[in-house]
Structure 1
Amino acid sequence: MRQKNQWLIGIVAIAMLVYTCKVTQSVVQRDENGNIIADKNPNTEPLSPRKSLKKMYLQKGYRLELVASEPMIHEPVAIAWDGNGRLFVAEMNTYMQDIDGKNQMSPICSVKRLEDTNGDGVMDKSVIFIDSLVLPRMLLTLDDRLIVSETNVKHLYSYRDTNGDGVADEKKLIFRNDEVSRNNLEHQRSGLIWNLDNKIYVTYENVRYVYDRVNDVFKTESLIEGSRGQWGLTNDDYGRLFYSQAGSEVPALDFQQNPFYGRLDLKNQYSRDFLEVWPIIATPDVQGGVGRLRPADSTLNHFTAVAGQSIYRGNSLPAVLKGDLLIPEPVGRLIRRAKVINTDGKITLENAYQKEEFIASADMNFRPVNTATGPDGCLYIVDMYRGIIQEGNWTRPGSFLRRQILGRQLDKNIGRGRIYRLVHDDIKPDRTLPRMLSLPSSQLIKYLSHPNGWWRDNAQKLMVVRGDKSIAPQLAAVATTSESELARIHALWTLKGLGALNNETLMQALKDNAPQVRRTAVWISEEEAIKGNEQVIKALDALKRDPSADVRFQLALSLRFSKSETAQNIVKELLALNAGNELMTESQKKYEEGIRTRALADENSKTMTAEEQRLVQRGAVFFNQLCVTCHGADGKGVLNQNKEMPAPPLAGSKNVNGDPEKLVKVLLHGLTGPVEGKVYSDIMPPLGGNDDQYIASVLSYIRKNLAGNNAPIVKPSDVKKVRDATAGRSKFWTWAELNQ
């Protein structure tokens, strides 16, 4: 049977190779007024990869090549390469296999390992690396180990193939957290990004992770406000993180500063109409209903299901693409290319094209959910290729989505999936096959100057994970003498990760000619500044008038948490010198507001019992992980591009401060439709899968700690009474029902 399967996969791979090079993608059609002519009545039946490629529109010179598809892979959601270029694919085999999402938590999902054994760019070998998983959602390669996170649990396990058969036979707990998440799977962690600073970031958490190589475990570091974001997280060459948030229909956020310093978004950080999208196909299956569609052709009018974004950092596509943010929009069946513009440290995003997209498809089942730069320098696109993309909480009986899905039989298309590679007519992909895992650390140093960020990242990560300090002199030489700015940056962070960065190398980096190297040195100095190292703080003082706004802003951030009087005086002087810099002043303003808010919360807590305080404190964590998506961090709501709120404000609300029974019902079973006559762009998903204490904690926090609210806490016993009284309910509440 195994030989037969390998033969079948080989035939599929050959067929893929034959037609991949011949298929040309479509050209977008426009009317006499220049408007896109969208397919208003598209066929919903699944297409072969070849036919689906013919439905793709790409900008001139670009094309897609098929890397893998069914039967080799099914329901792919995330990818990661190890140091030898083998591709791991997380498969959510149980995701929405019917319109109700039955049996989604069955432990039958997989992580596949794919290989291109002949270097032609097409995967021709596949094996199930890990099976019996529950909706695997995050992958991170370390050395020869793969870190995997599953849905509903907070543990992280490492997996390793010790006998060379391609199947993981070693499983170790690398991070333990016994907490079980009962949020719907769209509202759980994603990411697991090993960033430039050797910290590992995820969404929906109030921590970041650090690899402790001595004990071979992950440890956590707290974030003062936690992180937001939903499905997707990426970083650029300089360690800037980009989150996204589908719940509030925001394609990118929290990219102005690292979340360690607090979350920050600025006014006008998107160009005009940036949030408007341009599909080439009618998109009726949108949870926001007809208000999310253009009346003329039923195309999606702005971002909604953003997911799996990445910064292109490779070397096998045009240089003008490098550093751009690629944002998949699976409901719109498109991928946005955003230019990332730095003006005095402030980042703004704008569409690279005028009223059109980088990639768009007229195939109703094209569902791009992830992107990544690969070892060959190309951009890879993960297409879940299915009819339903929304989770079951949004397809319940009576929902707008359910009618659209059943009417078009979108629920019938399951069990497929494709991975594409974006290539350009004028550039050949780099076919060099990585062999990093077998190289000594001393031979990995050369890759720190590689033009493809994938190679630089993996070389740094491997050296840090191995912990070989004997290479420190070579790294110091790169950090101080390399002609490559990025090599100097990576060498500094590798030394920092090894605990081998000496003072001489750091001081020289603080005087480097390249602003981003100086910024890196400031960032690295942060730990010593927080400890109050006056020698380091004095060296940093010389940079408060640095010509680069990026350096000055990082200086203000890195000294933010230092208790040193000298450090705080530098921050004050920086703020005075940069009074006209929106980024620096708004960041400090928000930080100080956070201090006042926490102080007020501490003062209010003095009137509560110890148990009540614990409820509110836990509720704060849950609220900031989940509820801020639609209600805003301050509870005052968030606005999308159309100046509409996805959910009602909670701060100062009479409904929040009143009888808590309504609130308990809403959290248990969800809410749809107008609230007090006002229509909101999203539904309130049910959170009843969480226990009574979770519900009580969230409600106690919003009733006690949001501005204008000061109502009694909600006890777990209060939740239990309502849960028991409404047991068996499967429908969302409406506001009219709640007020009967």
Structure 2
Amino acid sequence: MPKINQSYKLKSLLLLLIISFSCKEAPDTTAVHPFDQLSEEEKRNPENALLGIKVNESLEASLFASEPMITNPTNIDIDHKGRVWVCEAYNYRPDITGNETKGEGDRILILEDSNGDGKADKSTVFYQDPELNAPLGIWVMGNQAIVSQSPYVWLLTDTDGDDKADKKEVIFQGIGGEQHDHGMHAFVFGPDGKFYFNFGNSGGTIQDKNGQTLKDATGMPIDAGNYKEGLVFRCNTDFSGIEVLGQNFRNNYEVAVDSYGTMWQSDNDDDGNKGVRINYVMEYGNFGYKDEMTGAGWRANRTNKEKEIPLQHWHLNDPGVVPNLLQTGAGSPTGMVVYEGNALPEAFHNQMIHTDAGPNVVRAYPVEKDGAGYKASIINLMEGDKDQWFRPSDVCVAPDGSLMVSDWYDPGVGGHQVGDLNRGRIYRISAPEIPYEIPEMDIRSLNGAVEALLNPNLSMRYQAWKNLKAMGHDARPALEKIFYEHANPRFKARAFWLLAKMDKKYIQEAIRHPNPDIRISGLRAARQENLDLIPYLETLVHDSDAQVRREVAIALRGMNSQKAPELWATLAMQHDGEDRWYLEALGIGASGQWDRFYTAWVEKSGADISSKKNQDIVWRSRTVKAIPHLASLASEPSQPIENRLRYFRAFDFNPDKEGKSAALVKMLEQQLRQESQEESQQINKLVLTHLDPEYLDRSPAVRSVLTNTLNESAGTESYLELVQKFGVRSENPRLLQMALEESDNNLGKSAATLLLRQGGLESVKEVLYSGEDDKIHSMFSVLRGIGSGESLDLLEEMTFDTSLPLSVRKEATAAIGGSYGGEDRILVLLETGKLPDNLIPSAVTGVSRAWRKSVRAEAATYLDASAGEENPLPPMKELLAMEGSVEKGLEVFKNNCAVCHQVGDMGMDFGPKLSEIGSKLSKEAQFISILHPDAGISFGYEGYLIQMNDGSSLGGIVASQTETDIDLKLPGGSTVPIKTSEIKSMQQMENSMMPAGLEKTMSTQELVDLVSYLMSLKKQS
């Protein structure tokens, strides 16, 4: 028996070795992942939470807390005791989702691991109130917490030490709409002893507790009239001294600040455009979401437009836009922190850690210096490669150096959508086998406070800062020891910021420090202390480090010293022609003083614009003094046209209207004889594009060139733009021809819209009453979606004109319902019984694709009852279990969805692009989005109802909006230009513009096939 056992063991060992060897040689790709073996219900259980998440091989993740202890965590913070504070959002957008709510309001929880096993076992409700509805930010400081929930920021205080807030104060208010994801976000504590925070592009303005609009450091009100879109702020810890540090973001979710005072954050694109970005926030920079001068959206046509949409999205070719550090594709970026601990592996030291709920990932972005800016790469920490319900919403550093990650845990994310109200998780990330242990220190003592200042946890550092500052002179020796002797430069910087508040001599020593990051901190501190900066700038203006010189340039902003122009010119002479970060810092420094600064640069450079570095200065400048140089570069025949586009675009940013127009006219008058005919035509078109329209009546050359250019470009989009810009009514016959020839696309609709605007109604009527069927059909096609009062009046007139053939009247009737205002008109005609019976089916057909379900339903009641009841869909559980065909789903998409959505180049550009929707939404969320479109309206794709002065109404998505013009996108992808002067009122629609009931146009299997196709649309690695 023993021999048999021994033999069996040897054979078993040999077999295991063979299997092990063969696995290494040829991995079994057919193995089923444990998560895939679970049922849908089992996949959602907390005990299986980590099975569907891929964790970086150098890290270990564990579940710290889950439902039912918490649900729907939007934001977290960790206090100096290692407790996790959680913002819950159970009551998230019930007005849109239709979900139940808790009448007692949402909660702020404190989660604690009281027995040291690495899991939360104690939960305390710090605050709950009916007014608390889906807060998006929390910052904890001892017995107080700052909670951000648009339109408010509250200070909650526990006055008696029972871990329950018993005092609530309004700090700021008037910020965006209630419960808006693009509103106010979390506060963080900076190394300079100030608070940093931001809001997204629905913020608009910020008011104090009394409802007064706050003003920036220059006395300018902080509102949408003075600042664009999302903003980044800094203020004192008593909430005074607010500053705007950056603008023109879309939904910059959470700002993170390192020990040198450098700011980092993420920003979300218009959904589906693969333009999510990571920013180094250069102080006072414009970050390009909207056109700086007009406020137009990124889709608007412009000279030198970037070739790819993710770059177009941020106007990166425009002078005055700070470049992006990194673009990460599609996503829904949320919380961020700078990890300055050493408990994680070295790859993560001093790097941004970021949560992106869209692609289900927690990432680090290792940063390297790159000239005056930075470059970055990506390392994943956690990735929901199997479980797409993993929706990381925030990340914070605990006192022991580990990370805590909150998980919204939901089939979808963003767009006011929520599919699950009862789940939520928090994970701890650490090096392998490192328990959760909070360091014990007496923060009230000098040694304890110094130790806490060096801790990676922000709340710990806040407590240390407050106590050390209060100690004053007694704390200096300990802080000096860190500043002068410690090997870690970030620790040096933290000590320096405190020392700088005690004695200005430390600023001088920082300015002369061998570490450039300390020199930068020194200059930033000098600015905050309102010191005379000139001696410091004179010391640093020739610094060997481009990032230090970048800070010198920024420090010149608003400086009236007589020495400032010379200092700026000295900096400008050191531009290498390649460093866009450096160039934009120069632009920030010269803001408001371009005449003085540019003059000094011309004197120093000799106005030599033959080099790329000097051409950059001309391109970035904003002064009449640069116009001759700009015109020379724009008309330089030795350069190909594509190299000169940037200079034509630069004319748009020059504030001298007369000077730039005169220079452009001069180009036309010279006729650019040195150009080839083709290049001359291109140049003429560019000049006209950037010329003020009033010069048409002032210059024969402009009129002549415009006529020639219109002849050369007839039938194109640029032709329409020029006709609209200069209001050329003599082009109406050609517009009519274009409308007919291009009736099946957007060019035809745009031509017809412009024709009517320019008094061409009679020529349209001539076509419709011509008796030529082909032309009549084409004209109905282009009139269908216009929706102006005169177009609808004409269509209605034809509907009731009994002298016309019935077929024409039917087509006219159907065409009425092709616009928002037309839908309402059809309902009135049906309700009043004015339509003859033989036209009612055409009227109902005309609104059968209306996005308002109520319109479709009401119109349908005027037809005979349908043959039978529609088959109800099976419950969600059965839908999820059904197998679908990607290939068949593609055909369903083409037939039902491509009219409003794009995948790659397929489909129409109206709703959100879906090229990577499978990476963003889970299978269940895909079904929810189709069955309940109102539950997930993507920001930037809300519908607007516009009432015109002529009594008509239009409905669509605002693609671009300036003070004078709106481009309204209509279903099908066409765009209608509208003058704001023609608008009576404009109101956002409550419902999605995606038609409800879309699933009723297909079978259950086709719906499942469609979702299978959508799930296949994933980000390409």
Amino acid at match of 1:139: I
Instruction: Give, in whole Å, the separation in 2 of the partners of 1:73 and 1:678.
Output: 40
Quick check: 1:63–1:423 contact (8 Å CA) kept in 2? yes
Structure with more relative contact order (C-alpha pairs < 8 Å, separation 6 or more): 1
Structure 1 residue 365 and structure 2 residue 393: aligned? no
* Counterpart Cα distance in 1 of 2:527 and 2:358: 42
| Distance across 2 between alignment mates of 1:182 and 1:431 | 39
Change (3 A) 1:161 1:567: same
Amino acid at match of 2:900: G
Q: How much does 1:715 deviate? A: 8.2
- On the 8 A contact 2:78/2:459 being kept in 1, the answer is no
- How far does residue 259 in structure 1 lie from its aligned partner after superposition? 4.0
Equivalent position SS for 2:366: strand
> Which residue of structure 2 lines up, in the alignment, with residue 245 of structure 1?
267
In the other structure, the counterpart of 1:491 is 495
Are residue 196 (structure 1) and residue 191 (structure 2) matched? yes
CA distance, structure 1, for counterparts of residue 112 and residue 787 of structure 2: 55
2:375 is aligned with 1:114: no
Give the Cα–Cα distance (whole angstroms) in 1 for the partners of residues 24 and 180 of structure 2. 37
Q: Take 1:384 and 1:416, find their aligned partners in 2: how far apart are those partners?
A: 8
CA contact (8 A) 2:963 2:980 kept: no
CA distance in 2, matches of 1:711, 1:371: 44
Q: Deviations over 1:345-398 (max 9, x none)?
A: 321122337xxx753441232221111211120111111122232334x79xxx
**Alignment root-mean-square deviation, CA:** 4.8
Per-residue Cα deviation, 1:585-618 (whole angstroms, up to 9, x for no partner): 24435776596799979889xxxxxxxxxxxxxx
Q: Supply the AA of the counterpart residue of 1:502.
A: D
2:44 corresponds to which residue?
47
Question: Matches of 2:508 and 2:250 in 1, distance apart?
Answer: 35
Q: Secondary structure at the match of 2:197?
A: strand
CA 1:364–1:358 in 2, change beyond 3 Å: closer, same or farther?
closer
Structure 2 contact 72–422 (Cα < 8 Å) conserved: yes
Conservation of the 8 A alpha-carbon contact between 2:182 and 2:199: no
Return the alpha-carbon distance in structure 2 between the equivalents of residues 165 and 679 of structure 1.
Answer: 53
CA distance in 2, matches of 1:141, 1:475: 26
1:36-85: per-residue Cα shift (whole Å, max 9, x none)?
99999995434222212122222223221111111211111111123333
Quick one: which amino acid aligns to residue 120 of structure 1? D
Aligned in 2, Cα 1:388/1:503: closer, same or farther, shift over 3 Å? closer
* One of 445, 452, 470 as aligned partner of 2:450: 445
- Secondary structure of the residue aligned to 1:565 is coil
Q: Deviations over 1:552-602 (max 9, x none)?
A: 222222223322232332222112123343320244357765967999798
| Uncovered stretches (5+) of structure 1, i.e. residues with no partner | 1-27, 266-272, 276-300, 396-410, 605-647, 735-740
Match of 2:900 among 673, 676, 701: 673
Q: Could you tell me whether the CA contact under 8 Å between 2:947 and 2:986 is conserved in 1? A: no
Where do residues 381-530 of structure 1 align in structure 2 (5 Å cutoff)?
381-392=405-416, 411=419, 413-425=420-432, 427=434, 430-433=437-440, 436=443, 439=444, 443-450=448-455, 452=456, 454=458, 457-459=461-463, 461-463=465-467, 469-471=472-474, 473-474=476-477, 477-478=480-481, 480-483=483-486, 484-496=488-500, 500-527=501-528
Is residue 64–residue 423 contact of structure 1 (8 Å, CA) maintained in 2? yes
Q: Structure 2: how far apart are the matches of 1:251 and 1:30?
A: 39
- Secondary structure of 1:134's partner? coil
Larger deviation, residues 309-318 vs 86-95: 309-318
Aligned partners of 1:345 and 1:583 also within 8 Å: yes
The corresponding residue for 1:322 is 349
Q: Is the 8 A contact 2:334 2:355 kept in 1?
A: yes
Q: Label 1:680 to 1:386 Cα distance change in 2 as closer, same or farther (>3 A).
A: closer
The answer for unaligned runs of 5 or more in structure 2 is 1-22, 204-226, 290-307, 311-327, 592-619, 624-649, 658-716, 725-749, 758-785, 789-818, 822-850, 853-896, 914-937, 949-955, 968-975, 997-1021
Name the structure 1 match of 2:534: 537
1:419 match: secondary structure: strand
> Contact (CA 8 Å) 1:203, 1:228: kept in 2 or not?
no
Report the 3-state secondary structure (helix = DSSP H, G, I; strand = E; otherwise coil) of the residue aligned with 1:147. strand
Is 1:337 matched up with 2:376? no
Establish whether residue 312 from structure 1 lines up as the match of residue 316 from structure 2.
no
Of residues 546, 551, 555, the one that matches 2:543 is: 546
Asked whether the 8 Å contact 2:520–2:551 carries over to 1, the reply is yes
In the other structure, the counterpart of 1:182 is 177
Letter in 2 for 1:253: I
> Aligned partners of 2:24, 2:569: CA distance in 1, in Å?
56
Structure 1 residues 261-301: Cα deviation after superposition (integer angstroms, max 9, x where no partner): 44379xxxxxxx9x9xxxxxxxxxxxxxxxxxxxxxxxxx9
Structure 2 match to 1:719: 986
Q: 1:577 aligns with which of 530, 552, 574?
A: 574
Mapped partners of 1:351, 1:37: distance in 2: 28
Is 2:257 aligned against 1:235?
yes
Alignment partners' CA distance in 2, 1:595 and 1:139: 41
Q: In 2, are the aligned partners of 1:317 and 1:378 still within 8 Å (CA)? A: yes
Segment drifting more, 339-348 vs 425-434 = 425-434
Q: Which has the larger radius of gyration?
A: 2
Q: Is the 8 A contact 1:89 1:112 kept in 2?
A: yes
Paired with 1:665 and 1:88, the residues of 2 have a C-alpha distance of: 47
Matches of residues 45-124 of structure 1 in structure 2 within 5 Å? 45=41, 46-95=43-92, 100-102=97-99, 108-124=105-121
Q: 2:162 aligns with which of 153, 165, 181?
A: 165
- Asked if structure 1 preserves the Cα contact closer than 8 Å seen for 2:60 and 2:433, the reply is no
| Residues 162-214 of structure 1: CA deviation (Å, up to 9, x unaligned) | 223221112122x233x26237722222232223342412132556555556x
Distance in 2 of aligned mates of 1:247 and 1:36: 38
> What is aligned with 1:134?
133
- Contact (CA 8 Å) 1:97, 1:414: kept in 2 or not? no
Alpha-carbon spacing, 1:129–1:329, altered in 2? closer, same or farther (3 Å): same
TM-score normalised by L of structure 2: 0.49
Q: CA deviation at 1:125?
A: 1.3
Who is 1:616 aligned against? none
The 1:319–1:688 alpha-carbon spacing in structure 2 relative to 1, beyond 3 Å, is same
Which has more helix, going by share of residues?
2
Residue identity in the other structure for 1:414: L
Q: How many residues align?
A: 580
1:445 maps to a residue whose letter is V
Q: Is the 8 A contact 2:391 2:413 kept in 1?
A: yes
Distance 1:565 1:95, change over 3 A: same
Question: Cα–Cα, structure 1 residues 673 and 85, in superposed 2: closer, same or farther, change >3 Å?
Answer: same
> Which deviates more, 309-318 or 455-464?
455-464
The residue matched to 1:162 in structure 2 has which SS? Answer: coil
Contact kept, 8 Å, 1:73 with 1:417, in 2: the verdict is yes
Offset at 1:136? Answer: 1.0
